[in-house]
Structures are given as structure tokens and as C-alpha cells.
Amino acid sequence: MANKHLLITIISTSLLYTLLVFGAGFVCGIIRVIFLEPRLDDRYAQLLEMPLMMAVIWRSARIVVSRIKTQTRATGDSEEGKGKYIAVGALALFFFLVTEGGLYALIHRGEGKGWHDWVWDRDPVAGSLFFAMLGVMMALPTILS
């Protein structure tokens, strides 16, 4: 029974982490496109947004780690090991990529664009930092635990 509780905790916490980061990114993206990109170009607007998103990722990871520790104590599961934090980070990254890439493909389906375009049609600088930040998003629950 403890394994079932742990699995539910990992999945629900991963979904929460994804929702927090994606939701903040969605709001920031709207603000970026409407207010920043007309004044700056796309690269600089994205780069300006990244410190805020890094703070969101950091805070969201802290919330997630706290939630896992609380759930673990409440269900009597072992608090040993980093496996559950690794699983939450990896699963949250998976959920994020599916959500972001899927939404991109859905919005651009009339143009014949899909996952490949979502990955490769990025500014080389801002796009590289975006994917690096996703790596940080995946690793932070383990680092902060």
C-alpha cells in the first residue's frame, strides 16, 4: 500500500510542478508577446523573461520538495533516498514537454508544423537557454531535497 501512495504522490506532485511552471510561463509569454516583443526583438524579450522564469522554477521546486516530504511523513513512507525527487523532476519534464510541444503543434497545425519545428525553430541563444532551464527544472527537486 505504501508504494501506491508513493506513486500517487510522485504523479500528483509532478503534475503540480508542471502546472506551476507552465502556468507562469504561459502568463509571462502573453506579457512578453504583447508588451516586450514589439519594443525589443524576440531574442531579447525571451532573455528578459528568463530570470523571472528561473525564480518561478526555483520556488515551484521548493513547493514540490516540501509537498513530497509532507506526504512521505503522512503516509509513513521512507524518507531515504533521492529516487522520488528524481522521478518527480523527470516526470514533470515529460509532462511539460508534452504540454508545450503539443500545444505548439495544435496551434500551428494549419501551417504543417509539429514537434520538430517546436524544437528547431528557436533563436539559437534564447532556445539553448530555454532547454538548459528545462534541465534545471528537472534537477532542482533532487538538488533541493
Per cent of the chain over pLDDT 90 is 67
Is the per-residue pLDDT at 6 higher than 90?
Answer: no
* Per-residue burial over 12-35, b = 16 or more CB atoms within 10 Å of its CB, e = otherwise: ebbebbbebbbebbeebeeebeee
C-alpha closest to that of 46 among 60, 33, 64, 62: 33
Give pLDDT, residue 112: 78
Is the per-residue pLDDT at 142 higher than 80?
Answer: yes
Tell me the average pLDDT across 89-93.
98
Give pLDDT, residue 80: 67
Query: Which pLDDT band, with edges at 50, 70 and 90, does 76 fall under?
Result: low
Range of the domain at 51: 2-144
* Per-residue burial over 62-79, b = 16 or more CB atoms within 10 Å of its CB, e = otherwise: eebbebbeebbeeeebee
Q: How many domains does the chain divide into?
A: 1
Is the per-residue pLDDT at 30 higher than 90?
Answer: yes
pLDDT tens for residues 60-74? 999 999 999 888 777
Q: State the alpha helices, DSSP H only, in the chain.
A: 2-31, 42-75, 83-107, 115-120, 124-144
Per cent of the chain over pLDDT 70 is 94
Written as one letter, the residue type at 50 is M
C-alpha closest to that of 59 among 12, 17, 11, 15: 17
pLDDT tens for residues 123-140? 999 999 999 999 999 999
Query: Which pLDDT band, with edges at 50, 70 and 90, does 51 fall under?
Result: very high
> Structure pTM?
0.90
Q: How far is residue 101's CA from residue 95's CA, in Å, rounded to a whole number?
A: 10
